[in-house]
Chains A and B, each alone.
Chain A
Amino acid sequence: MSNTQPTNLKESAEGYKIETENLNAWFGKSHVLKEISLKTKENAITAIIGPSGCGKSTFIRCLNRMHELVPNARVSGKVLLDGKNIYAEGVDPVAVRRKVGMVFQKPNPFPTMSVYDNVASGLKLTGLRDRKKLDVVVKKSLELAFLWDEVKDDLDKSGASLSGGQQQRLCIARTLAVEPEVVLMDEPCSALDPQATAKIEQLMTKLEENYTVVIVTHNMQQAARVSDFTAFMYLGEVVEYGSTRQIFENPKNELTERYITGKFG
Protein backbone atom coordinates (compact mmCIF):
# COMPACT_ATOMS: atom_id res chain seq x y z
CA MET A 1 0.00 0.00 0.00
CA SER A 2 1.56 3.27 -1.01
CA ASN A 3 2.30 6.06 1.37
CA THR A 4 -0.75 8.29 1.79
CA GLN A 5 1.05 10.92 3.85
CA PRO A 6 0.67 14.18 1.92
CA THR A 7 3.71 16.32 1.36
CA ASN A 8 4.38 19.36 3.54
CA LEU A 9 1.09 21.14 3.91
CA LYS A 10 1.44 24.81 3.25
CA GLU A 11 -0.77 26.51 5.75
CA SER A 12 1.07 29.76 5.33
CA ALA A 13 -0.59 33.06 4.66
CA GLU A 14 -0.21 32.68 0.91
CA GLY A 15 -3.39 33.56 -0.86
CA TYR A 16 -5.53 31.88 -3.39
CA LYS A 17 -4.16 31.85 -6.91
CA ILE A 18 -7.16 30.71 -8.91
CA GLU A 19 -10.72 30.90 -7.70
CA THR A 20 -13.88 29.97 -9.50
CA GLU A 21 -17.23 31.51 -8.63
CA ASN A 22 -20.40 29.79 -9.80
CA LEU A 23 -18.62 28.30 -12.77
CA ASN A 24 -20.93 26.52 -15.21
CA ALA A 25 -19.97 24.93 -18.50
CA TRP A 26 -21.91 23.44 -21.38
CA PHE A 27 -21.18 21.45 -24.49
CA GLY A 28 -24.14 22.54 -26.59
CA LYS A 29 -27.14 21.67 -24.45
CA SER A 30 -25.24 19.31 -22.17
CA HIS A 31 -24.61 20.95 -18.79
CA VAL A 32 -21.30 19.47 -17.69
CA LEU A 33 -20.15 21.74 -14.87
CA LYS A 34 -22.64 22.91 -12.27
CA GLU A 35 -22.02 25.93 -10.04
CA ILE A 36 -18.41 25.16 -9.19
CA SER A 37 -16.89 27.50 -6.63
CA LEU A 38 -13.40 26.41 -5.76
CA LYS A 39 -10.30 28.20 -4.49
CA THR A 40 -6.83 26.82 -5.16
CA LYS A 41 -3.94 27.89 -2.98
CA GLU A 42 -0.86 29.49 -4.42
CA ASN A 43 2.30 27.39 -4.64
CA ALA A 44 0.48 24.19 -3.78
CA ILE A 45 -0.64 21.16 -5.71
CA THR A 46 -4.39 20.69 -5.94
CA ALA A 47 -5.66 17.38 -7.29
CA ILE A 48 -9.05 16.90 -8.92
CA ILE A 49 -10.26 13.33 -8.69
CA GLY A 50 -13.48 11.63 -9.71
CA PRO A 51 -14.91 8.95 -11.99
CA SER A 52 -14.79 9.21 -15.79
CA GLY A 53 -17.12 11.83 -17.17
CA CYS A 54 -17.49 13.80 -13.96
CA GLY A 55 -16.17 16.96 -15.58
CA LYS A 56 -12.64 17.18 -14.19
CA SER A 57 -10.96 17.79 -17.56
CA THR A 58 -13.65 20.27 -18.54
CA PHE A 59 -13.06 22.07 -15.27
CA ILE A 60 -9.37 22.65 -15.75
CA ARG A 61 -9.87 23.55 -19.39
CA CYS A 62 -12.08 26.38 -18.14
CA LEU A 63 -9.16 27.66 -16.08
CA ASN A 64 -7.10 28.56 -19.15
CA ARG A 65 -9.94 29.34 -21.53
CA MET A 66 -9.35 26.23 -23.64
CA HIS A 67 -12.90 25.00 -23.16
CA GLU A 68 -14.28 27.71 -25.41
CA LEU A 69 -12.18 26.48 -28.35
CA VAL A 70 -14.58 23.57 -28.82
CA PRO A 71 -17.45 24.49 -31.14
CA ASN A 72 -20.76 24.96 -29.25
CA ALA A 73 -19.00 25.16 -25.89
CA ARG A 74 -20.15 27.76 -23.38
CA VAL A 75 -19.10 29.03 -19.98
CA SER A 76 -20.78 31.17 -17.34
CA GLY A 77 -19.58 32.39 -14.00
CA LYS A 78 -16.22 33.81 -13.00
CA VAL A 79 -12.71 32.49 -12.86
CA LEU A 80 -10.43 34.78 -10.86
CA LEU A 81 -6.70 34.67 -11.46
CA ASP A 82 -5.04 36.78 -8.76
CA GLY A 83 -8.44 38.34 -8.16
CA LYS A 84 -9.11 39.31 -11.78
CA ASN A 85 -11.83 37.59 -13.78
CA ILE A 86 -10.32 35.96 -16.86
CA TYR A 87 -13.73 35.80 -18.50
CA ALA A 88 -14.37 39.52 -18.14
CA GLU A 89 -15.18 41.60 -21.20
CA GLY A 90 -12.10 42.60 -23.10
CA VAL A 91 -9.75 40.05 -21.58
CA ASP A 92 -7.45 38.48 -24.18
CA PRO A 93 -7.63 34.68 -23.87
CA VAL A 94 -4.16 34.38 -25.36
CA ALA A 95 -2.75 36.45 -22.50
CA VAL A 96 -4.53 34.17 -20.02
CA ARG A 97 -3.01 31.08 -21.61
CA ARG A 98 0.48 32.48 -21.26
CA LYS A 99 -0.07 32.78 -17.53
CA VAL A 100 -1.89 29.47 -17.14
CA GLY A 101 -0.10 26.66 -18.92
CA MET A 102 -1.34 23.19 -19.65
CA VAL A 103 0.16 19.72 -20.05
CA PHE A 104 -2.03 17.17 -21.80
CA GLN A 105 -2.74 13.52 -21.23
CA LYS A 106 -1.05 12.25 -24.36
CA PRO A 107 2.40 13.84 -24.86
CA ASN A 108 2.15 16.11 -27.90
CA PRO A 109 5.54 17.54 -28.89
CA PHE A 110 5.49 19.37 -32.21
CA PRO A 111 6.40 16.66 -34.71
CA THR A 112 8.41 18.77 -37.15
CA MET A 113 10.60 20.40 -34.52
CA SER A 114 13.73 19.46 -32.63
CA VAL A 115 13.89 19.23 -28.84
CA TYR A 116 15.36 22.73 -28.68
CA ASP A 117 12.75 24.22 -31.02
CA ASN A 118 9.94 22.52 -29.14
CA VAL A 119 10.92 24.07 -25.85
CA ALA A 120 11.58 27.44 -27.46
CA SER A 121 8.40 27.42 -29.55
CA GLY A 122 6.26 29.30 -27.05
CA LEU A 123 8.79 32.12 -27.01
CA LYS A 124 9.92 32.08 -30.63
CA LEU A 125 6.41 32.13 -32.00
CA THR A 126 5.47 35.11 -29.89
CA GLY A 127 8.38 37.22 -30.97
CA LEU A 128 11.54 36.39 -29.02
CA ARG A 129 14.41 35.95 -31.44
CA ASP A 130 17.52 36.51 -29.34
CA ARG A 131 19.41 33.22 -29.60
CA LYS A 132 21.35 33.72 -26.37
CA LYS A 133 18.24 34.40 -24.31
CA LEU A 134 16.52 31.41 -25.88
CA ASP A 135 19.50 29.17 -25.04
CA VAL A 136 19.26 30.20 -21.39
CA VAL A 137 15.52 29.64 -21.17
CA VAL A 138 15.67 26.29 -22.96
CA LYS A 139 18.37 24.99 -20.60
CA LYS A 140 16.54 26.23 -17.52
CA SER A 141 13.22 24.73 -18.60
CA LEU A 142 14.74 21.37 -19.49
CA GLU A 143 16.51 21.28 -16.13
CA LEU A 144 13.27 22.07 -14.31
CA ALA A 145 11.62 19.25 -16.21
CA PHE A 146 14.36 16.80 -15.19
CA LEU A 147 15.17 16.24 -18.88
CA TRP A 148 18.34 18.30 -19.43
CA ASP A 149 20.83 15.54 -18.66
CA GLU A 150 19.13 13.16 -21.04
CA VAL A 151 19.02 15.47 -24.05
CA LYS A 152 21.81 17.99 -23.54
CA ASP A 153 24.15 16.25 -25.98
CA ASP A 154 21.74 16.41 -28.87
CA LEU A 155 19.21 19.20 -28.62
CA ASP A 156 18.74 19.04 -32.37
CA LYS A 157 17.17 15.65 -32.52
CA SER A 158 13.51 15.31 -33.34
CA GLY A 159 11.09 15.87 -30.46
CA ALA A 160 9.16 12.84 -31.55
CA SER A 161 12.17 10.52 -31.29
CA LEU A 162 12.11 10.57 -27.47
CA SER A 163 10.42 7.94 -25.35
CA GLY A 164 6.91 8.55 -24.00
CA GLY A 165 8.07 9.68 -20.59
CA GLN A 166 10.73 11.93 -22.10
CA GLN A 167 8.19 13.43 -24.49
CA GLN A 168 5.90 14.30 -21.61
CA ARG A 169 8.77 15.96 -19.77
CA LEU A 170 9.56 17.80 -22.99
CA CYS A 171 5.98 19.08 -23.07
CA ILE A 172 6.33 20.18 -19.46
CA ALA A 173 9.58 21.99 -20.30
CA ARG A 174 7.84 23.65 -23.23
CA THR A 175 5.05 24.84 -20.95
CA LEU A 176 7.48 26.13 -18.34
CA ALA A 177 9.53 28.04 -20.92
CA VAL A 178 6.85 30.71 -21.29
CA GLU A 179 7.03 31.27 -17.52
CA PRO A 180 3.43 30.74 -16.53
CA GLU A 181 2.20 31.22 -13.00
CA VAL A 182 -0.12 28.24 -12.94
CA VAL A 183 0.51 24.82 -14.47
CA LEU A 184 -2.53 22.68 -15.25
CA MET A 185 -1.99 18.98 -15.83
CA ASP A 186 -4.67 16.80 -17.35
CA GLU A 187 -3.85 13.21 -16.36
CA PRO A 188 -0.19 13.74 -17.30
CA CYS A 189 0.94 10.24 -16.38
CA SER A 190 -1.89 8.09 -17.61
CA ALA A 191 -0.08 7.23 -20.84
CA LEU A 192 3.21 6.47 -19.09
CA ASP A 193 4.86 3.54 -17.34
CA PRO A 194 5.52 3.55 -13.56
CA GLN A 195 9.14 4.72 -13.80
CA ALA A 196 8.24 7.63 -16.04
CA THR A 197 5.31 8.42 -13.75
CA ALA A 198 7.58 8.48 -10.72
CA LYS A 199 9.91 10.94 -12.43
CA ILE A 200 7.05 13.26 -13.24
CA GLU A 201 5.65 13.11 -9.73
CA GLN A 202 9.10 14.04 -8.46
CA LEU A 203 9.03 16.95 -10.91
CA MET A 204 5.64 18.12 -9.67
CA THR A 205 6.84 18.27 -6.10
CA LYS A 206 9.74 20.47 -7.20
CA LEU A 207 7.39 22.62 -9.30
CA GLU A 208 5.12 23.62 -6.47
CA GLU A 209 7.90 25.69 -4.92
CA ASN A 210 7.40 28.27 -7.62
CA TYR A 211 4.17 27.47 -9.41
CA THR A 212 0.59 26.72 -8.56
CA VAL A 213 -0.23 23.27 -9.90
CA VAL A 214 -3.67 21.83 -10.56
CA ILE A 215 -3.68 18.22 -11.63
CA VAL A 216 -6.50 16.03 -12.84
CA THR A 217 -5.92 12.39 -12.13
CA HIS A 218 -7.91 9.21 -12.02
CA ASN A 219 -5.11 7.60 -10.04
CA MET A 220 -6.03 8.12 -6.41
CA GLN A 221 -2.73 6.94 -5.06
CA GLN A 222 -1.03 9.58 -7.16
CA ALA A 223 -3.33 12.25 -5.77
CA ALA A 224 -2.58 11.07 -2.27
CA ARG A 225 1.19 10.97 -2.90
CA VAL A 226 1.63 14.26 -4.56
CA SER A 227 -1.06 16.80 -3.78
CA ASP A 228 -1.70 19.15 -0.87
CA PHE A 229 -5.40 19.61 -1.53
CA THR A 230 -7.88 17.35 -3.25
CA ALA A 231 -11.30 17.99 -4.74
CA PHE A 232 -13.61 15.11 -5.47
CA MET A 233 -15.98 15.72 -8.37
CA TYR A 234 -19.01 13.74 -9.38
CA LEU A 235 -21.47 14.42 -12.21
CA GLY A 236 -20.28 17.97 -12.75
CA GLU A 237 -20.27 19.08 -9.11
CA VAL A 238 -17.60 19.32 -6.44
CA VAL A 239 -18.72 16.89 -3.77
CA GLU A 240 -15.95 17.52 -1.31
CA TYR A 241 -12.80 19.63 -1.18
CA GLY A 242 -10.16 19.80 1.51
CA SER A 243 -6.61 18.96 2.42
CA THR A 244 -5.49 15.72 0.88
CA ARG A 245 -4.90 14.15 4.25
CA GLN A 246 -8.42 14.92 5.38
CA ILE A 247 -10.04 13.68 2.17
CA PHE A 248 -8.23 10.38 2.19
CA GLU A 249 -8.16 9.67 5.88
CA ASN A 250 -11.39 11.24 6.97
CA PRO A 251 -13.81 11.93 4.11
CA LYS A 252 -16.86 13.83 5.30
CA ASN A 253 -19.14 12.85 2.43
CA GLU A 254 -20.36 9.31 1.99
CA LEU A 255 -19.94 9.49 -1.80
CA THR A 256 -16.32 10.52 -1.36
CA GLU A 257 -15.72 7.64 0.99
CA ARG A 258 -17.24 5.17 -1.46
CA TYR A 259 -15.11 6.47 -4.33
CA ILE A 260 -11.92 6.46 -2.30
CA THR A 261 -12.42 2.94 -1.14
CA GLY A 262 -13.03 1.82 -4.70
CA LYS A 263 -16.69 0.99 -4.42
CA PHE A 264 -17.29 2.75 -7.75
CA GLY A 265 -15.47 4.76 -10.39
Chain B
Amino acid sequence: MTSYMIRKFKDKLAFILSFLCVLVAIIPLGSILMEVVKNGAPALSIQFLTSPPGAVGEAEGGIASSIQGTLILIGLTSLIGVPLGLMSGVYLAEFGDNVLGRSIRFFNDVLMQFPSIVVGIFVYMLMVLALGSFSTIAGAVALSIIMLPIVARTTEESIKLVPNSTREAAMALGIRRWRTIISIVLNSARSGIVTGTLLSIARIAGETAPLIMTILGSQWFFAGLKAPMDALPLRVWRLALLPYDYAHQQGWGAALILIIIVLTLNVGVRFATRGRYTGR
Protein backbone atom coordinates (compact mmCIF):
# COMPACT_ATOMS: atom_id res chain seq x y z
CA MET B 1 0.00 0.00 0.00
CA THR B 2 1.27 3.45 -0.83
CA SER B 3 1.54 5.93 2.00
CA TYR B 4 -1.33 7.87 0.41
CA MET B 5 -3.64 4.84 0.71
CA ILE B 6 -2.56 4.31 4.32
CA ARG B 7 -3.36 7.94 5.08
CA LYS B 8 -6.73 7.69 3.43
CA PHE B 9 -7.50 4.59 5.45
CA LYS B 10 -6.49 6.25 8.74
CA ASP B 11 -8.61 9.24 7.83
CA LYS B 12 -11.66 7.08 7.19
CA LEU B 13 -11.03 5.13 10.39
CA ALA B 14 -10.85 8.30 12.48
CA PHE B 15 -14.04 9.54 10.90
CA ILE B 16 -15.90 6.29 11.62
CA LEU B 17 -14.64 6.18 15.22
CA SER B 18 -15.76 9.75 15.95
CA PHE B 19 -19.11 9.06 14.31
CA LEU B 20 -19.53 6.01 16.58
CA CYS B 21 -18.68 8.17 19.61
CA VAL B 22 -21.42 10.59 18.63
CA LEU B 23 -23.87 7.70 18.38
CA VAL B 24 -22.85 6.40 21.78
CA ALA B 25 -23.48 9.86 23.19
CA ILE B 26 -26.84 10.23 21.52
CA ILE B 27 -28.17 6.75 22.23
CA PRO B 28 -28.86 7.28 25.97
CA LEU B 29 -30.49 10.62 25.20
CA GLY B 30 -32.59 9.08 22.45
CA SER B 31 -33.62 6.09 24.51
CA ILE B 32 -34.68 8.23 27.48
CA LEU B 33 -36.73 10.39 25.15
CA MET B 34 -38.31 7.34 23.59
CA GLU B 35 -39.15 5.81 26.97
CA VAL B 36 -40.73 9.02 28.18
CA VAL B 37 -42.77 9.43 25.02
CA LYS B 38 -43.78 5.78 24.95
CA ASN B 39 -44.90 5.66 28.56
CA GLY B 40 -46.14 9.19 28.88
CA ALA B 41 -48.12 9.69 25.70
CA PRO B 42 -50.98 7.38 26.70
CA ALA B 43 -51.47 9.42 29.87
CA LEU B 44 -52.07 12.64 27.98
CA SER B 45 -55.62 13.84 27.65
CA ILE B 46 -57.48 17.12 27.97
CA GLN B 47 -58.61 16.10 31.42
CA PHE B 48 -55.07 15.21 32.40
CA LEU B 49 -53.82 18.59 31.39
CA THR B 50 -56.57 20.68 32.90
CA SER B 51 -57.53 19.17 36.22
CA PRO B 52 -55.66 19.21 39.50
CA PRO B 53 -54.59 15.94 41.12
CA GLY B 54 -57.45 14.18 42.75
CA ALA B 55 -57.37 12.44 46.08
CA VAL B 56 -54.74 9.77 46.44
CA GLY B 57 -55.96 6.53 45.01
CA GLU B 58 -58.30 8.16 42.51
CA ALA B 59 -57.38 7.80 38.89
CA GLU B 60 -59.14 10.91 37.72
CA GLY B 61 -56.62 13.52 38.65
CA GLY B 62 -54.47 15.59 36.36
CA ILE B 63 -51.38 17.71 36.46
CA ALA B 64 -52.78 21.12 35.70
CA SER B 65 -51.64 22.55 39.02
CA SER B 66 -48.16 21.15 38.47
CA ILE B 67 -47.92 22.71 35.02
CA GLN B 68 -49.07 26.03 36.39
CA GLY B 69 -46.63 25.74 39.28
CA THR B 70 -43.66 24.97 37.07
CA LEU B 71 -44.48 27.85 34.74
CA ILE B 72 -44.88 30.25 37.65
CA LEU B 73 -41.59 29.08 39.12
CA ILE B 74 -39.75 29.50 35.83
CA GLY B 75 -41.16 33.01 35.50
CA LEU B 76 -40.42 34.14 39.05
CA THR B 77 -36.97 32.57 39.11
CA SER B 78 -36.03 34.21 35.82
CA LEU B 79 -37.31 37.53 37.12
CA ILE B 80 -34.87 37.32 40.02
CA GLY B 81 -32.01 35.37 38.52
CA VAL B 82 -31.64 36.74 34.99
CA PRO B 83 -31.17 40.46 35.77
CA LEU B 84 -28.84 39.72 38.68
CA GLY B 85 -26.87 37.18 36.66
CA LEU B 86 -26.70 39.49 33.65
CA MET B 87 -25.40 42.41 35.65
CA SER B 88 -22.85 40.22 37.42
CA GLY B 89 -21.67 38.91 34.09
CA VAL B 90 -21.34 42.42 32.69
CA TYR B 91 -19.36 43.54 35.73
CA LEU B 92 -17.03 40.55 35.57
CA ALA B 93 -16.40 40.94 31.85
CA GLU B 94 -16.04 44.71 31.60
CA PHE B 95 -14.73 45.78 34.99
CA GLY B 96 -13.60 42.57 36.61
CA ASP B 97 -9.91 42.51 35.83
CA ASN B 98 -8.85 43.02 39.45
CA VAL B 99 -8.72 41.27 42.82
CA LEU B 100 -12.40 41.87 43.54
CA GLY B 101 -13.35 40.47 40.14
CA ARG B 102 -11.22 37.39 40.62
CA SER B 103 -12.76 36.68 44.04
CA ILE B 104 -16.29 37.11 42.69
CA ARG B 105 -15.49 34.78 39.82
CA PHE B 106 -14.14 32.19 42.23
CA PHE B 107 -17.17 32.29 44.51
CA ASN B 108 -19.42 32.22 41.47
CA ASP B 109 -17.81 28.99 40.30
CA VAL B 110 -18.12 27.50 43.79
CA LEU B 111 -21.80 28.42 43.93
CA MET B 112 -22.35 26.78 40.57
CA GLN B 113 -21.20 23.44 41.98
CA PHE B 114 -23.34 23.55 45.13
CA PRO B 115 -25.54 20.48 45.58
CA SER B 116 -29.08 21.69 45.05
CA ILE B 117 -30.31 20.01 48.23
CA VAL B 118 -27.93 22.22 50.20
CA VAL B 119 -29.43 25.28 48.52
CA GLY B 120 -32.84 23.92 49.46
CA ILE B 121 -31.91 23.51 53.11
CA PHE B 122 -30.41 26.99 53.19
CA VAL B 123 -33.55 28.61 51.82
CA TYR B 124 -35.64 26.42 54.11
CA MET B 125 -33.90 27.95 57.08
CA LEU B 126 -33.83 31.43 55.63
CA MET B 127 -37.38 31.70 54.43
CA VAL B 128 -39.60 28.76 55.34
CA LEU B 129 -38.76 28.80 59.03
CA ALA B 130 -38.70 32.57 59.12
CA LEU B 131 -42.02 33.05 57.33
CA GLY B 132 -43.61 30.07 59.05
CA SER B 133 -44.73 28.21 55.94
CA PHE B 134 -43.56 26.58 52.78
CA SER B 135 -44.01 29.09 49.99
CA THR B 136 -43.78 29.75 46.30
CA ILE B 137 -41.45 32.66 46.83
CA ALA B 138 -39.05 30.46 48.79
CA GLY B 139 -38.98 28.06 45.85
CA ALA B 140 -38.24 30.88 43.44
CA VAL B 141 -35.43 32.17 45.66
CA ALA B 142 -33.85 28.72 45.91
CA LEU B 143 -34.00 28.16 42.16
CA SER B 144 -32.62 31.61 41.43
CA ILE B 145 -29.62 30.85 43.65
CA ILE B 146 -28.99 27.88 41.36
CA MET B 147 -29.64 29.91 38.21
CA LEU B 148 -27.58 33.01 38.99
CA PRO B 149 -24.03 31.63 38.68
CA ILE B 150 -24.84 29.93 35.40
CA VAL B 151 -26.22 33.09 33.83
CA ALA B 152 -23.35 35.18 35.22
CA ARG B 153 -20.69 32.84 33.84
CA THR B 154 -22.17 32.45 30.38
CA THR B 155 -22.89 36.18 30.14
CA GLU B 156 -19.29 36.94 31.08
CA GLU B 157 -17.90 34.49 28.52
CA SER B 158 -20.18 35.77 25.75
CA ILE B 159 -19.25 39.37 26.42
CA LYS B 160 -15.58 38.53 26.42
CA LEU B 161 -16.01 37.12 22.94
CA VAL B 162 -17.00 40.53 21.58
CA PRO B 163 -13.81 41.86 19.97
CA ASN B 164 -12.23 44.94 21.47
CA SER B 165 -12.29 46.65 18.08
CA THR B 166 -16.08 46.90 18.40
CA ARG B 167 -15.79 48.65 21.76
CA GLU B 168 -13.08 50.98 20.43
CA ALA B 169 -15.21 51.92 17.46
CA ALA B 170 -18.04 52.92 19.78
CA MET B 171 -15.84 54.85 22.22
CA ALA B 172 -14.16 56.70 19.35
CA LEU B 173 -17.58 57.95 18.24
CA GLY B 174 -18.02 59.63 21.59
CA ILE B 175 -20.52 57.10 22.96
CA ARG B 176 -20.36 56.75 26.73
CA ARG B 177 -19.05 53.55 28.31
CA TRP B 178 -22.35 52.37 29.79
CA ARG B 179 -24.13 53.05 26.52
CA THR B 180 -21.50 51.13 24.62
CA ILE B 181 -21.96 48.16 26.93
CA ILE B 182 -25.74 48.14 26.78
CA SER B 183 -26.41 48.99 23.15
CA ILE B 184 -23.44 47.53 21.37
CA VAL B 185 -21.57 44.96 23.43
CA LEU B 186 -24.63 43.21 24.88
CA ASN B 187 -26.27 43.25 21.49
CA SER B 188 -23.29 41.54 19.91
CA ALA B 189 -23.12 39.01 22.73
CA ARG B 190 -26.84 38.38 22.58
CA SER B 191 -26.95 34.85 21.20
CA GLY B 192 -24.45 33.51 23.72
CA ILE B 193 -26.29 35.16 26.60
CA VAL B 194 -29.63 33.75 25.45
CA THR B 195 -28.16 30.26 25.16
CA GLY B 196 -26.77 30.46 28.67
CA THR B 197 -30.06 31.69 30.08
CA LEU B 198 -32.04 28.95 28.34
CA LEU B 199 -29.65 26.31 29.63
CA SER B 200 -30.08 27.60 33.15
CA ILE B 201 -33.87 27.57 32.77
CA ALA B 202 -33.79 23.98 31.59
CA ARG B 203 -31.68 23.15 34.61
CA ILE B 204 -33.93 24.77 37.20
CA ALA B 205 -37.14 23.54 35.62
CA GLY B 206 -36.14 20.02 36.53
CA GLU B 207 -34.70 20.58 40.01
CA THR B 208 -36.63 18.60 42.60
CA ALA B 209 -34.61 18.59 45.83
CA PRO B 210 -34.80 22.31 46.59
CA LEU B 211 -38.53 22.26 45.84
CA ILE B 212 -39.14 19.59 48.45
CA MET B 213 -37.69 21.91 51.05
CA THR B 214 -39.34 25.10 49.88
CA ILE B 215 -42.64 24.74 48.10
CA LEU B 216 -43.52 21.33 49.54
CA GLY B 217 -46.09 20.56 46.89
CA SER B 218 -49.86 20.76 46.97
CA GLN B 219 -52.99 19.28 45.45
CA TRP B 220 -54.38 22.62 44.41
CA PHE B 221 -53.63 25.47 42.12
CA PHE B 222 -51.44 28.43 42.92
CA ALA B 223 -52.53 29.94 46.20
CA GLY B 224 -50.36 33.00 46.61
CA LEU B 225 -46.66 33.68 46.90
CA LYS B 226 -46.56 32.77 50.57
CA ALA B 227 -48.32 29.41 50.23
CA PRO B 228 -47.07 25.99 49.15
CA MET B 229 -47.45 25.15 45.48
CA ASP B 230 -47.21 22.21 43.12
CA ALA B 231 -44.60 21.76 40.42
CA LEU B 232 -43.92 19.14 37.75
CA PRO B 233 -40.71 17.60 39.11
CA LEU B 234 -42.33 17.27 42.55
CA ARG B 235 -45.41 15.71 41.02
CA VAL B 236 -43.33 13.21 39.06
CA TRP B 237 -41.54 12.22 42.22
CA ARG B 238 -44.71 11.88 44.30
CA LEU B 239 -46.50 9.90 41.59
CA ALA B 240 -43.55 7.58 41.10
CA LEU B 241 -43.58 6.68 44.78
CA LEU B 242 -47.27 5.74 44.88
CA PRO B 243 -48.05 2.04 44.59
CA TYR B 244 -50.70 2.48 41.90
CA ASP B 245 -50.27 1.82 38.21
CA TYR B 246 -52.33 4.81 37.16
CA ALA B 247 -50.01 6.98 39.24
CA HIS B 248 -46.94 5.67 37.44
CA GLN B 249 -48.47 6.36 34.11
CA GLN B 250 -49.42 9.86 35.20
CA GLY B 251 -45.84 10.30 36.36
CA TRP B 252 -44.56 9.48 32.88
CA GLY B 253 -47.09 11.90 31.45
CA ALA B 254 -45.90 14.65 33.77
CA ALA B 255 -42.27 13.99 32.81
CA LEU B 256 -43.20 14.21 29.14
CA ILE B 257 -44.97 17.53 29.69
CA LEU B 258 -41.95 18.89 31.53
CA ILE B 259 -39.67 18.01 28.62
CA ILE B 260 -42.12 19.55 26.15
CA ILE B 261 -42.30 22.79 28.16
CA VAL B 262 -38.52 23.14 28.27
CA LEU B 263 -38.17 22.36 24.56
CA THR B 264 -40.87 24.82 23.59
CA LEU B 265 -39.31 27.52 25.74
CA ASN B 266 -35.98 26.89 24.08
CA VAL B 267 -37.29 27.10 20.53
CA GLY B 268 -39.58 30.01 21.30
CA VAL B 269 -36.99 32.22 22.97
CA ARG B 270 -34.41 31.49 20.28
CA PHE B 271 -36.91 32.46 17.64
CA ALA B 272 -37.88 35.64 19.42
CA THR B 273 -34.34 36.84 20.00
CA ARG B 274 -32.71 35.80 16.72
CA GLY B 275 -30.44 38.42 15.28
CA ARG B 276 -31.44 39.97 11.97
CA TYR B 277 -28.37 38.78 10.24
CA THR B 278 -26.76 35.94 12.06
CA GLY B 279 -30.02 34.00 12.06
CA ARG B 280 -28.91 32.40 15.31
Which A residues contact B (CB, under 8 angstroms)?
64, 66, 69, 71, 94-98, 101-102, 104, 106, 108-112, 114, 121-122, 125-126, 158, 160-161, 171, 174-175, 178
Contacts and interface: CB of A to CB of B under 8 A. Distances in A.
Interface string B256-276: 000000000000000000011
A108 B174 contact: no
A110 B165 contact: no
A97 B172 CA distance: 6
Given A111-B166, A125-B173, 6 more contacts: A69-B171, A104-B172, A108-B165, A110-B188, A114-B276, A122-B173
A64 B173 CA distance: 10
B203 interface: no
Nearest to A95: B174
Contact of B169 (A95, A110, A178): A110
A110 B184 contact: yes
Chain B CB within 10 Å, residue with most, of A69, A122, A125: A125
Contact of B175 (A69, A96, A126): A126
Contact of B172 (A64, A71, A125, A160): A64
A112 B173 contact: no
B173 A174 contact: yes
B168 interface: yes
A108 B277 CA distance: 16
27 contacts: A64-B172, A66-B171, A94-B176, A95-B174, A96-B174, A97-B173, A97-B174, A98-B173, A101-B173, A108-B163, A108-B165, A108-B166, A108-B169, A110-B169, A111-B277, A112-B188, A112-B276, A121-B170, A121-B173, A121-B175, A121-B184, A122-B173, A125-B175, A126-B175, A158-B276, A171-B169, A174-B169
Contact of A106 (B165, B170, B173, B276): B165
A109 B184 CA distance: 11
Contacts of A178: 173-174
A174 B183 CA distance: 16
A109 B278 CA distance: 15
A110 B166 contact: yes
Given A125-B179, A158-B276, A160-B277, A112 B174 contact: no
Contacts of B58: none
A211 to B, nearest CB: 15
B171 A111 contact: no
A160 B184 CA distance: 14
Contacts, number: 77
A106 B163 CA distance: 12
Contacts of A104: 165, 168-169, 172
Chain A CB within 10 Å, residue with most, of B171, B176, B278: B171
Contacts of B176: 94, 126
B11 interface: no
Contacts of A96: 174
Contacts of B172: 64, 66, 97, 101-102, 104, 175
Contacts of A110: 166, 169-170, 184, 188
Contacts of A66: 168, 171-172
A112 B169 CA distance: 14
Contacts of A161: 277
Q: Which 4 A-B residue pairings sit nearest by Cβ, starting from the closest?
A: A98-B174, A122-B173, A158-B277, A97-B174
A225 B188 CA distance: 38
A52 to B, nearest CB: 19
Nearest to B179: A125
A63 to B, nearest CB: 11
Contacts of B276: 112, 114, 158
B73 to A, nearest CB: 32
Interface string B162-200: 010110111111111001100110011010000000000
Contacts of B179: 125-126
A72 B2 CA distance: 58
Contacts of A114: 276
Nearest to B174: A98
Given A112-B275, A114-B276, A94 B188 contact: no
Contacts of B187: 112
Nearest to B173: A122
A192 to B, nearest CB: 16
